[in-house]
Amino acid sequence: MGKATGFLEYERADDPVRREAERVKDFKEFHGNMSLDERRKQAARCMDCGVPFCQAGVMISGMASGCPLHNLVPETNDLVYMGKLSEAYRRLSMTHPFPEFTSRVCPALCEAACTCGLHGLPVGTKENEKAIIEYAFSNELVKESAPAERTGKRIAIIGSGPSGLSAAKYLNTRGHEVTVYERRDRVGGLLRYGIPNMKLDKALIDRRITLLKAAGVKFIVNTDVGRDIKASKLKKEYDAVILACGASNPRDINAPGRDAEGIYFAVDFLSRVTKSLLDSGFKDYPYELVKDKNVIVIGGGDTGNDCVGTCIRLQAKSVTQLEMMPKPAQTRLPSNPWPEWPKILKVDYGQEEAIWKFGSDPRVYQTTVKEFVKDKKGRLKAVVLVQLEAKKDEKTGRMNMLPVLGSEKQVPCEVVLIAAGFLGSEKYVTDDFKVEIDGRTNVKTEAGRYLTSVENVYTAGDMHRGQSLVVWALSEGRAVAGEVDKALMGY
């Protein structure tokens, strides 16, 4: 696969990016594209390794190793190396519903499990896939064809995020009539409002939705299932219902002063920014949210990083990102061998921009907020930070991060963004459908299945597995589509 000696001849190179000084002035995507000749060299680095962990998609030590979609990675890389991008697209589309999304927002589980990464830098599979799908769109190869015949079966999908869209695509292809319900004003769910435009241009979502609509998928927006329309009505009108509402119940920070004005959940903040941009045709930048203010982001994950990048674009005075856990190692520890997911320090685009603007990494480790301090009008004016240390619970044996006595420090802060993850599905939806949930409030199913405790009601994505990656949502959307199709058709 690829060129037998390619990984020895060519160093890894990534697509060009716009300089921080330029890209922080707007919300446009900042990653460019290298030439096809250079891209072929990158694909040539894919070695005939014999056991391609990159496409395994298995759990090792509780972490995913390789692509959950089981993309045929060495084969697509080989086709890119040979310059056969049309064939590469056909091969990629056998397993992947929407490469244009994951090639921009996925942390590249395939690359983390790449054999080249054992002793060097992995193959740039993620950007290879981006080159493939953009070539396919540019050359009108991407089709969402309406089926020749319809089965007469009707399916409702609740939620238009990655799992809902994935299920809709496959079920429509099989000839079923698919209707997708979305509570927001635009289709896309997490892709639309949870990820900033500079990371995933919303025009890419519209491009795909246009194709799905033309193929017969129906979308109903501004309809909150469980409130605007009841589960009982949907169960009567449709042969099957798929709950793909995401893990949209954010984890809160319960500290004194939590009711202060100026504290927002991260996804609510990101959604507000994106909606302002979309409604105004990218003319209205909502500077009033954070301009000239000291911002603290609670959470060190992808969403926290997106908040950092967004606040810099909205001209925040300062941005600090709090992480409860210790700072990761620079390289793999012996306890974290390949092909496990590498638990190492990564610097994402938001941190890069903060370093450029403020002169240092915005992340502060082993720290959290102990108290929110309000002024006389109830507005946030400062936070009390406290350092944390790991201590072992003698009863359970688990390590817990506990406050260090006397380490409190008050710092000025007018805006706090809580990016501390999600607790699972929202109660009003699960109550209305009367589906059973597990201890983490995820909708419960048998292992490896997607049928809920209620007849003809299925679930997929974050609502099923908990907060996770877009690629896992796409994988579950495909899997639930298969289960629903078999249940309806008998094969």
**235 and 270 belong to one structural domain:** no
Evaluate if residue 365 carries a pLDDT over 90: yes
Paired with 179 in beta bridges are 156, 218
145: in domain = no
pLDDT reported for residue 50:
85
**276 and 340 belong to one structural domain:** yes
435: in domain = yes
Of the chain, the percentage scoring pLDDT greater than 70 comes to: 100
**126 and 162 belong to one structural domain:** no
pLDDT reported for residue 423:
87
pLDDT reported for residue 379:
98
User: Which of 391, 418, 445 finishes a domain?
Assistant: 418
Q: How many residues does the chain have?
A: 491
Distances (CA, A) of 413 to 283, 293, 399, 472: 28, 7, 30, 36
Angle between helical axes of 162-173 and 470-489 (0-180°, round to 10): 30
pTM over 0.75: yes
E strand or H helix at 410 = strand 409-412
Q: What is the pLDDT of residues 465-487, one digit of tens each?
A: 999 999 999 999 999 999 999 99
Average pLDDT over residues 164-170: 98
**Cα–Cα dist 178/153, whole Å:** 9
**284 and 173 belong to one structural domain:** no
Q: What is the pLDDT of residues 253-304, one digit of tens each?
A: 999 999 999 999 999 999 999 999 999 999 999 999 999 999 999 999 999 9
User: Which of 90, 110, 138 finishes a domain?
Assistant: 138
**Cα–Cα dist 423/467, whole Å:** 8
Evaluate if residue 331 carries a pLDDT over 90: yes
**131 and 164 belong to one structural domain:** no
State the CATH number of the domain containing residue 230: 3.50.50.60
Q: What is the pLDDT of residues 64-116, one digit of tens each?
A: 899 999 999 999 999 999 999 999 999 999 999 999 999 999 999 999 999 99
Cβ contacts of 22 within 8 Å, gap of 6 or more: none
Which domain, by its residues, includes 185?
154-248+423-489
| Residue 46 structure tokens | 């894919």
Q: In the chain, how many domains are there? A: 3
**280 and 202 belong to one structural domain:** no
Residue 462 pLDDT grade (very low, low, confident, very high; cuts 50, 70, 90): very high
327: in domain = yes
**412 and 447 belong to one structural domain:** no
User: Which of 368, 402, 418 finishes a domain?
Assistant: 418
Distances (CA, A) of 20 to 198, 443, 459: 12, 42, 41
Which residue in the block uniquely carries the two structure tokens 């992340």?
Answer: 363
Evaluate if residue 1 carries a pLDDT over 80: no
Q: What is the pLDDT of residues 297-323, one digit of tens each?
A: 999 999 999 999 999 999 999 999 999
Q: What is the pLDDT of residues 383-433, one digit of tens each?
A: 999 999 999 888 888 889 999 999 999 999 999 999 999 988 999 999 999
**376 and 267 belong to one structural domain:** yes
State the CATH number of the domain containing residue 101: 1.10.1060.10
Residue 48 pLDDT grade (very low, low, confident, very high; cuts 50, 70, 90): confident
**365 and 448 belong to one structural domain:** no
Query: Residue 217, CB half-sphere, CA atoms under 13 Å: how many?
Result: 26
pLDDT reported for residue 424:
87
CA gyration radius, the chain = 23
255: in domain = no
Q: What is the pLDDT of residues 143-158, one digit of tens each?
A: 998 999 999 999 999 9
Amino acid identity at 304: G
254: in domain = no
| DSSP characters over 250-309 | BPP---TTTT-BTEEEHHHHHHHHHHHHHHTTS----GGGTBT-EEEEE--SHHHHHHHH
**110 and 223 belong to one structural domain:** no
348: in domain = yes
42: in domain = yes
Query: Per DSSP, which regions of 48-111 are E strands?
Result: 58-60, 63-65
35: in domain = yes
Query: Per DSSP, which regions of 76-171 are E strands?
Result: 154-158
Q: Taking all residues of the chain, what is their mean pLDDT, rounded to a whole number?
A: 96
Evaluate if residue 351 carries a pLDDT over 70: yes
**48 and 12 belong to one structural domain:** yes
Residue 208 pLDDT grade (very low, low, confident, very high; cuts 50, 70, 90): very high
Number of helical H runs and strand E runs in the chain = 17, 16
**Cα–Cα dist 342/283, whole Å:** 40
**348 and 391 belong to one structural domain:** yes
Which residue in the block uniquely carries the two structure tokens 């983390």?
Answer: 112
pLDDT reported for residue 47:
85
pLDDT reported for residue 27:
98
